[in-house]
Amino acid sequence: MLEIADREGVRVLTLARPERLNAIHPELLAALKRALREAARDEGVRAVVLTGKGRAFSAGQDLEAVPDDRDYVRVLEDYIPVIEALFSLEKPTVAAVNGVAAGAGMSLTLACDLRVMAEGAYFSPAFIRVGLVPDAGMSYFLPRLVGMGRALDWCYRSPRIGPEEAQAAGLVSAVFPDEGFLDSALAFAAELGQGPTRAYALTKRALWRNLEAELADALAYEAESQAAAGATEDHDEGLRAFLEKRKPRFRGR
Ligand code: LHQ
């Protein structure tokens, strides 16, 4: 249901219900929640990749597993800790969108820091097609990532958002060929996995926080974050490497 593997400091979490296009159900969400907590605790993990097995990333909520009483508040309670764990993880997170990412499957990718996608993959907000509204974080992340005009347009029409449109909107960082996609995505993540982990975490927090802040407050928060980054071993190493004209060897501390 959820496959977990490590490669070069990158923890790879693979949604693995390929016969259902990795549709999401409560057990999968519980496994994801556990895996994200473990990834947060494990110092050897310096980046996390979320991907899907088979031809899809995820088709979203398993529509065969919705409760008869339609208690969607209850259904969404299982998503909340997963979205929060992804968002607050103090390590870079990358969604490797290998195939269709629809509905809450697309939402999972939005809660990651960065997205890369395969040439044959596409995003589909999907919710509106079944008479529902964006959930699992999409209403929060999508307008912030691509702007309100596009977010409304995509959520209303639920078009097939392919690599070209996704990249033009700034939704994805890179597009790789279908052939060898996971290797390309892992190489992309491995670079982040070899970076200054604390500085990434502080960067993520500052950018999101300061999106809503007043300038004076944002500037003060930047100074605080910089003091924290400046106290890391990786900053020492970065300075040394610069002066010695060599590539830094960051250790994530
Ligand atoms: C599926 C699913 C699926 C189960 C394909 N479930 N089996 C909702 C409700 C309540 C509260 C919580 O929040 C949510 C959030 C949401 O995520 S709502 C949006 C849910 N997702 C969708 O509406 C997307 C539904 N799927 C599709 O539109 C298509 O399957 C896509 C566009 C993803 C892919 O199309 P195709 O490549 O043509 O594949 P397919 O449709 O033939 O699907 C393959 C199989 O997977 C098929 O089963 P079968 O037994 O016929 O082979 C589908 O029934 C199954 N499947 N999505 N979400």
Residue having the nearest C-alpha atom to atom 31 of ligand 1: 59
How far, in Å, is the centroid of ligand 1 from the Cα of 58? 8
Contact present, 154 and 105 (Cβ < 8 Å):
no
Spatial neighbors of 82 by CB under 8 A, at least 6 apart, are 29, 32, 33, 36, 108, 111
Tens of pLDDT, residue by residue over 98-116, are 999 999 999 999 999 999 9
pLDDT tens for each residue of 51-102: 999 999 999 999 999 999 999 999 999 999 999 999 999 999 999 999 999 9
Instruction: Say if residues 47 and 84 touch (Cβ distance below 8 Å).
Output: no
Q: Tell whether ligand 1 has an atom less than 6 A from the beta carbon of residue 114.
A: no
Question: pLDDT of 86-97, one tens digit each?
Answer: 999 999 999 999
Q: What is the CA radius of gyration of the chain?
A: 19
Q: Which ranges in the chain are annotated with CATH 1.10.12.10?
A: 197-244
Residue 132 CB less than 6 A away from ligand 1:
yes
CB atoms < 10 A from the CB of 66, how many?
14
pTM: 0.98
- pLDDT 10s digits, 8-42: 899 999 999 999 999 999 999 999 999 999 999 99
CATH 3.90.226.10 residue window(s) in the chain: 2-193
Pocket test of ligand 1: the residue of 61, 79, 110, 161 to mutate, having most ligand atoms within 8 Å of its CB, is 61
Q: Is residue 208 in contact with ligand 1, taking CB distance under 6 Å?
A: no
Domain 2-193: CATH class, spelled out? alpha beta
Q: Regarding the domain delimited by 197-244, which CATH topology (the fold level of the hierarchy) does it fall under?
A: Lyase 2-enoyl-coa Hydratase; Chain  A, domain 2 (1.10.12)
**Cα–ligand 1 centroid distance for 103 (angstroms):** 9
How far is Cα 236 from Cα 223, in angstroms, rounded to an integer? 18
